[in-house]
Amino acid sequence: MSGLRKSLRLRTTSLVAAGAATVFLLTTAASSQADPAPKQEPAAVAADELNTDYLINDVLPGQSGGGRGVSVQWITPSGRNPYKEWDWIEIKKGGADGKRVTWEWACPKNDCDAVGSTLVAMTPQRGQKYTAVYWSNGGRVTNGTRRATFEFWA
């Protein structure tokens, strides 16, 4: 294996389509000091195949413009606009069936994509368990459909 070494490469593939996203691929390749052998490029992934479900990645302490609370990081299906679909984030005390503490629109302005972060104003009590809930298609009257939950402790 003299002259060979493993290297990690971060390659960016841009997709050209409506609502296209940038995909980062981390690949491991063996190379030598001489010209490397030709490599086969991975097949492009269509933007609507990147993510087909809802997810809350994390809930962290957050602040913006003097407001404090928790920052809820979320992902929705590729191509979805949470603003147009009336999606919202709810914070409950305890589990997913607990009492509502507060809520906020997932995207309060029409400039969101399928991935984002929402600052929900609240003052959590230290040591208390909370649950963030992502609701889709909420509208003004109905609760919508519960899509994702994430438990966290203050």
pLDDT digits (tens, 9 = 90+) for 43-84: 555 544 555 689 999 999 988 777 789 999 999 998 888 998
* Model confidence pTM above 0.75: no
Contacts of 37 (CB under 8 A, 6+ apart): none
Tokens representing 38?
A: 């030709």
Q: In the chain, which residues have pLDDT < 50?
A: 1-32, 47-48, 141
Identify whether the C-beta of residue 59 lies closer than 8 Å to the C-beta of residue 88.
Answer: no
State the architecture of 55-153 in CATH terms.
Answer: Sandwich (2.60)
Domain ranges of the chain: 4-34+45-49, 55-153
- Name the DSSP class of 38: P
CB atoms within 10 A of CB 40: 5
What is the Cα–Cα distance from 88 to 106, expressed in whole angstroms?
4
